[in-house]
Amino acid sequence: MLHKRFVCGLIALLLAVSLSSFVASAQNKDKTEKKKEEAANAQGTPVLWQEPTDIASRDLFLGPGGDAMKPDLSHVTFDRDEPGGYSVKFRVRDGSGRVWVAKLGNEAQPETAAVRLVWAVGYMTEINYLAPCVHIEGAPKPRKDVERCNNGADFANVRFEARPKAVKRLDIWSWKSNPFAGTKEMQGLIVIMAMMNNWDLKDENNKILLVPVNNSELEPVSNAKLPTPNDTLSDKPTGTPDDQNKSDDQSKADNNNSDNNSSGNNKAGNDKPDSSKPVGAPTNYEQQYIISDLGATFGKTGNAITHNRNRPETFIKTKFVKKVEGGRVQFDYHGKSGSLFDNITVEQAKWIGDLLSRLSDQQIADAFRAANYSPEEIQALTQALRARINELVNLPGAGAQQSATANK
């Protein structure tokens, strides 16, 4: 009798677990389909990069959010877990009620610095800040060990990533199939990924944000009617002069899969309304193409066993440019999606190198200072990055077949 009851109980338990897994799978599928539908219906100008006219004056300590968007750390409360990904993440509210995704662990520091460097030369990015030590009221025990402070009561080096109410997070975008594929702007972004040793170049780390621009009434996009093909909005990519010569196939974005593991970009939803625009005028939108996860940077590229992240002492010893051959630059990259680097021309690499060269050593150092690196690490990382920028600037001319030594 006891054996029979045990068997019946075990069967009931297995059925319950199976049903729970089925329901969870169905819910995830519904979310994926919903994001695909939103991306298909949403209209707006695709934007990857906008020419920065103020590189030399950009504040890389405060970053793309500036002083106005900084989180109020006086009272941070836990809302819920953010599942998925390598790092522990919490959805939280700051003292002013704004929503953030707090990332704990080894990716918080490099991502904070990486976002600032990418933004500095004109690319669309997340808005983030790093708190050296913060208390999160109601936070559960993390699923893995993370750095603590205040005798273990609080969390150390926490990256806060903004979730502006007016920004709608759509689908992921593909490295190989997007409106900017093959342009110097996309190729330049790929070069920056090699420069920072970002070995985690997978589509799931990319995100399209639907951002209202020049609007007079910033109602939350999540509660607003999304723009549709019937609305009079431009869908021509901007920030990419080379797009004029691209084929239709190159101009189609890949909207497969979805990503719930990243956060908002742009100060929309927190800025004051544009008084020059009549109240009630239609809102225009941009589809901003961003890399939402830059945590696997400033370490060493490699396979699942040999790569690492957030290891300044390792990063400064790695090579960058291997050689130039046939007018193409070969990088010492050993991470995911290595084929992205197969066709980077000297001209494209020198173009992004020129933009990066306009940053001062102080600006570069400020990006790492914002990420709470030690003075010694800031100096070493700044020098290493300057050396890599110089490699790009000093590349031999197109068509030359010469070797360029990394970290000169």
| Residue type, position 27, single letter | Q
Give the whole-angstrom CA distance, residue 351 versus residue 392. 8
**Dihedral of alpha carbons 236, 242, 247, 249, sign:** negative
- The per-residue pLDDT for 43 is 81
| Residue type, position 401, single letter | Q
- The per-residue pLDDT for 118 is 98
Longest dimension (CA), the chain: 85
CB distance 195 to 259 below 8 Å: no
- The per-residue pLDDT for 213 is 87
- The per-residue pLDDT for 226 is 43
DSSP-based three-state secondary structure for 265? coil
- The per-residue pLDDT for 403 is 39
Going by C-beta distance under 8 Å and a sequence separation of 6 or more, which residues neighbour residue 72? 94, 95, 96, 98
**Dihedral of alpha carbons 242, 244, 248, 253, sign:** positive
The CB-side HSE value for 340 (13 A sphere, CA atoms) comes to: 27
CB distance 312 to 162 below 8 Å: no
- The per-residue pLDDT for 175 is 98
Per-residue pLDDT of the chain (408 residues; tens, 9 = 90+): 556 665 566 666 666 556 655 554 555 555 555 555 555 556 899 999 999 999 999 999 999 999 999 999 999 999 999 998 999 999 999 999 999 999 999 999 999 999 999 999 999 999 999 999 999 999 999 999 999 999 999 999 999 999 999 999 999 999 999 999 999 999 999 999 999 999 999 999 999 999 998 644 333 333 334 444 344 334 446 554 444 344 333 333 333 333 333 333 444 434 333 333 334 445 699 999 999 999 999 999 999 999 999 999 999 999 999 999 999 999 999 999 999 999 999 999 999 999 999 999 999 999 999 999 999 999 999 999 999 999 999 999 754 444 343 333
Give the whole-angstrom CA distance, residue 354 versus residue 371. 25
- The per-residue pLDDT for 153 is 96
Give the whole-angstrom CA distance, residue 127 versus residue 109. 14
DSSP-based three-state secondary structure for 269? coil
For 135-290, where are the alpha helices, taking DSSP H only? 184-195
| Residue type, position 327, single letter | G
Strands 99-104 and 88-93: antiparallel
| Residue type, position 297, single letter | T
- The per-residue pLDDT for 282 is 52
